[in-house]
Structures are given as C-alpha cells and as structure tokens.
Amino acid sequence: MSVNVAIAGATGAVGEEFLRLLELRSYPIKSLRLLASARSAGRKLMFAGREYTVEELKADSFKGVEHAFFSAGGSISKEFAPHAAKAGAIIIDNTSAFRYEPEIPLVIPEINPKDAFEYGARRIIANPNCTTIVALLPTYPLHKQFGLKRAVMSSYQAISGAGAQAMAELEQQTRDWAAGKPLTVKIAPKQIAFNVIPRIDAFQENGYTKEELKFLWEGRKIMHHTTLRATATCVRVPVMRSHSVSLNLEFEKACTPEAAREILRNAPGVIVQDDPKTELYPIPLERSLKDEIGVGRIRQDISIDDNRGLCLWAVGDQIMKGAALNAIQIGELLLKQGR
C-alpha cells in the first residue's frame, strides 16, 4: 500500500528530519507535497533523488492527501488540520495543539499503539512532547511490571529544542567568549553558553513551567494511568542535540536494578547502556541521530523503603524519536492496518 503524503512545515528542522527518515525507512509514498509559509514557498528540496518545490500552505493544499504530517507550529495546526481532515487526510500532528483534547489520541507506538486507531471524525493523532517520549519509553515497561506510583523527572534539554536561532546564539556566544568579546543574549532568556537555564516554556501560576507539567499530563494520557503522581524540573543546557532526563521512580512492588535491566533490554525503542566500570552510560553526543532511547545509571533509589524505587538516566534525540521518527512510526502503524 502506498499513500499520498504532505508535510506541513517542510522547511523547518523537524520537516527536514521527516524527509530524511521517510526516505531512510522507505515509507511507501505515492506522491509527496511539501508545504510551508509563503516566505519559504518556491524553495527546492531533495527527496529520494528528486527535486521538489515547496508550496505555500493553504486551505486547499490537501486535496488527495492521505497522510499529513504537521510540524509548523500549534497555531498553524489548529488552522489547517481541519482543512486536511475535510479533504480526507489523517493528520499526525507534531505540535502541542491537540495533545490535551480528550478525544484526540496521543501516541507513542511502543506504548499505546491501539490508541492511534481512535482518531475519530477529526482524523487527528497527536505526537507527544519530545521530553515525554524520552522519559516514558524506559518508564512504561517498568510500570507494567512493578506498578508506577510516583515519578520525579529532571530534564537537561538541548538548545535545538528552542529552534535554529537559539542554536546559532549558542555558537556565537561560544565564539565571542573564546575571542574575549562581550556575549549577546537575544533568543534564550539568559546566556546559554557555559550556563544552564532552569526555565523552558512559560511559567504557570503554580510555579511550574508548561514544559514541566507536560510530563504529568501526557504521562497519564499515554500510559492510561490516571492516578500517576509526577513532578518535573526542565532545564536548558548548552548541548546542541539530544535531550537527557534523570528519573526517580517509585513503584507499588519491590524491584531491583538487575530486574530493571532485563526488562529494559527487551523493551522496544530502548537500548541499555549501563556499565559504570567501563564508563558506559548514554550521553547526548552518542545518542544523536539514533532511533532508540539510551538508558543507564540504573540503581536502587535509597530514599524509598522496601526496594520499591529506582533511579535511571535516559537520553534520546528529540528531533528524531522525540519528533519526526515517532510521527512516522504512527504513520507506519496506520499503513499496517491499511489506513
């Protein structure tokens, strides 16, 4: 089965990753339509040895399209997803526009694949937040075995999560520092070079940022775990690509690091890298452009009684599995069912 595909936001970082992965994974494309803003219309992009011209995203851009991948921003998704659905497309949306609407499935294929087929009349499937994906892929198989009660997450998120301009700012600040020049801050809220910033997304009235609350909201929805208790602190770090998370997990049942390693070795989408004696643990430089989430530093949480707690460290490429790859895997689920 081959399908007509459109990418809304084709010229952005995630859009470019869509193109690379669709070709790499031999996604069965009958026709491909690349869509972006009027400013980007007319650009030429290569896919599978052929040159494509980027078209301006309009209400009538989705005629004949069957799978529409959106990565152009939440307001764009809200405006144009209904047009794509009306044209008969299934929308796989990589923004936060629809994640928290009860009737819109929020899917990580390794965790809740069946939810993808509940897209209903609105024909929208939402892709989770990138940090949620990195954290939940190792958490869920442990939850199935031991019953997760509470999760504490601290994230160390790459500057690429803030966009191309933020990446350029880190590069420029690094050059200016080496040259002894004053450092300019325009994009990030504070200097990011040689620094960390404990704020990602907007602060809420309860003192959390929206990024931090996503872990709880999305974790409950994806894992169908409405009683989950969770808290998070999200930090921007001067790393170009791949997010890292530290997890402290409290379970209903006793567990051991040895049992956790065995479970995670057999978990889809996860690779165990855990041998402190040989300095083996996942780091962003080595997990960039990799499909799997690397997991290491697995140990007993000594602050929790009766061996019911684990600590672990997970790293994943937020542009790949945290964005484009996860969305493409959702499309592949649909293809297997002839949709």
Annotated active-site residue in 130, 234, 255, 311: 130
Q: Which residues of 153-192 are buried (b: 16+ CB within 10 A; e: fewer)?
A: bbbbbbbbbbeeebbebbeebeeeeeeeeebeeebbeebb
pLDDT for res 267: 98
C-alpha torsion 318→79→331→114, nearest 10: 90
Q: Whole-angstrom Cα distance, residue 17 to residue 23?
A: 10
Does residue 243 carry a catalytic annotation?
A: yes
Task: Name the CATH superfamily for 131-317.
Answer: Dihydrodipicolinate Reductase; domain 2 (3.30.360.10)
pLDDT of residue 54: 98
For the chain, what percent of residues have pLDDT higher than 70?
100
Q: Pick the catalytic residue: 67, 143, 243, 311? A: 243
pLDDT of residue 309: 98
Q: Which CATH number describes the domain made up of 3-128+323-336?
A: 3.40.50.720
pTM: 0.96
The parts of the chain modelled with pLDDT lower than 70 are none
Question: Which two three-digit tokens encode residue 85?
Answer: 């659905």
The domain locations on the chain are 3-128+323-336, 131-317
Residue in the block written with tokens 């940090």? 131
Backbone angles phi, psi at 65, to 5 degrees: -75, 140
